[in-house]
Amino acid sequence: MKLIVKVFQEITIKSRPVRKRFIRQLAKNIRTVLRDLDPELLVEGEWDNLEVETRVADPKVLREMIERLTCTPGIGHFLEVHEYPLGDFDDILEKCKTHFGDKLPGKVFSMRCKRAGKHPFTSIDVERYVGGGLRQHCGAAGVSLKNPEVEVRIEIRHDRLYVIHAQHPGLGGYPLGALEQVLVLMSGGFDSTVAAYQMMRRGMISHFVFFNLGGRAHELGVMEVAHYLWEKFGRSQRVLFVSVPFEEVVGEILTKVDDSYMGVTLKRMMLRAASRVAERLELNALVTGEAISQVSSQTLPNLSVIDRVTDTLVLRPLIVSHKQDIIDTATKIGTAEFAKHMPEYCGVISVNPTTQAKPYRVDHEESKFDMAVLDRALERSTQMTVDRVIDELGKDLPVEMVGEVLPGQIVVDIRHPDAQDDEPLELEGIEVLPMPFYAINSKFKELDPNRQYLLYCDKGVMSRLHAHHLVNEGHTNVRVYRPE
């Protein structure tokens, strides 16, 4: 299979050196994203288009390649093509008949040709000759440029002919690695996941920092959604996940700060900590999922006061977004289900939160706060690459594993719904219950406590993580199923 990758339009208006640099970076990213599917993949070109060629014939692998490319920043769209040496008009007609002849009988079609290079003919000449030949020899019902049932598309580039079979949309934006890097404050909800996606889509490598307010289940959930975002949109780059234990910070706020200023103070502490993490990692900006007046801490006066604690640039890509638009985007990119089932831990809840925070009053409240507490939180922070975060968490967990299912036991398939659809888990005589990993924490308590449940996933890592957590929560009827 051969793919012609068309770069994002904004790249084509860059200066020549910048354009070439961006396209080289995109080619490198494509190789990285697809190399586990085809180690011998060829990616060529450095100006208009990139040509991606694979000898892999497995339809499932080819579908996965296409899916990954649709989620790779920097691509405007890409085409599935067959490539041939350019012949005369009759040869072009024969090639089009080969690929489209069986699709045209009784159908209204259009004939479209794009051309690059010097030729003794125009694109319109090709369209008239080939389109006329197809109508005459293939039993087509007619030609319509506005509402065709079948679209015959070809491209002629210098001495090559490309017959186009399908066009796939790209993500747009710039290639990851061509622009600056940022640090996303990640809570795992709708807002922060969509904010992270928007930055990655634009082409900025996005690292993650999570402030743990005291919930192990929440930390695990955030790690899972961060890994999902990286795997889907950012896997061409090395990305870090930093977790900062904030329980003691929350305790200090609860005991020292006036109720109405708790929320603003917590956000300021998070920005302080995030700025220090960003400085250590040499990152250019912080990113949050805040939107104007969505909650009390996000009014303009409060955001202004919050931002005063840092000189680091704070980006808010969702600042004027409506909540429903954010939810719709989360649904589109696949993070909505994570957000719906994300365990919550609200350590700071003000009864009467201020919406008009005053700088002098914030300074007064924070003068009671022991900043050594914030220093200790940063000292105890952990850091790992996102691609390893799930594997690292799953190491050496004391969870009982079984290789055989006994009568009466239920196997809980915790894989992502896409994996469940592609490769259904079928065990003769055994009940299999689909329950995606992001729903385990909220749904497991609804199951019959008198039944035995065996968690299953492909690698056994996610099942061990969730089984370990459920056991710690007091569920004694959980094990991990690993087929022998």
CA distance 96 to 120: 21
Q: Which residues contact 394 (CB under 8 A, 6 or more apart)?
A: 460, 461, 462, 464, 465
Exposed e or buried b per residue across 252-269, where buried means at least 16 C-beta atoms within 10 angstroms of its C-beta? bbeebbeebbbbbbbbbb
Per DSSP (E only), the strands in 231-281 are 240-245
The per-residue DSSP string of 215-236 comes to -HHHHHHHHHHHHHHIIIIITT
> Would you tell me how many other CB atoms lie within 10 Å of the CB of residue 89?
14
Which pair of tokens denotes residue 22? 């961006």
Q: Tell me: is residue 289 an annotated ligand-binding position.
A: yes
Render the burial of 46-63: b for 16+ CB within 10 Å, e for the rest.
eeebbbbebebeeeeebe
The answer to whether 111 is a known ligand-binding residue is: no
Q: Are 176 and 239 in contact (CB under 8 A)?
A: no
283 backbone dihedrals φ, ψ, rounded to 5°: -100, 150
Consult the annotation and say whether 298 binds a ligand. yes
Q: Is the dihedral of CA 310, 313, 317, 320 positive or negative?
A: positive
Estimate to the nearest angstrom the gap between the alpha carbon of 187 and the chain centroid. Answer: 15
Report whether 474 contacts 394 (CB < 8 A).
no
Instruction: Please indicate if the annotation marks 50 as binding a ligand.
Output: no
DSSP 440: H
Catalytic residue (choose from 96, 113, 138, 457): 457
Question: 457 an active-site residue?
Answer: yes
Beta strands in 246-361 (DSSP E): 285-287, 313-315
Q: Where are the beta strands (DSSP E) in 239-377?
A: 240-245, 285-287, 313-315
The pair phi, psi for residue 34, each rounded to 5°, is -105, -5
- Those residues whose C-beta lies under 8 Å from the C-beta of residue 80, and which sit 6 or more positions away, are 1, 2, 3, 66, 164, 165, 166, 167, 168
**Cα 390 to chain center, whole Å?**
16
Q: What is the distance between the alpha carbons of residues 264 and 262, in angstroms, rounded to a whole number? A: 6
Sign (positive or negative) of CA dihedral 73, 76, 79, 84: negative
Asked if residue 369 lies in contact with residue 256, where contact means CB atoms within 8 angstroms, the answer is: yes
Annotation-wise, does 185 bind a ligand? yes
CA distance 475 to 266: 33
Supply angle C-alpha 248, 252, 258, rounded to 5: 150
Q: Which residues are annotated as a binding site for ATP?
A: 185-186, 267, 289, 298
Q: Which residues are annotated as a binding site?
A: 185-186, 267, 289, 298
Active site amino acids: 457
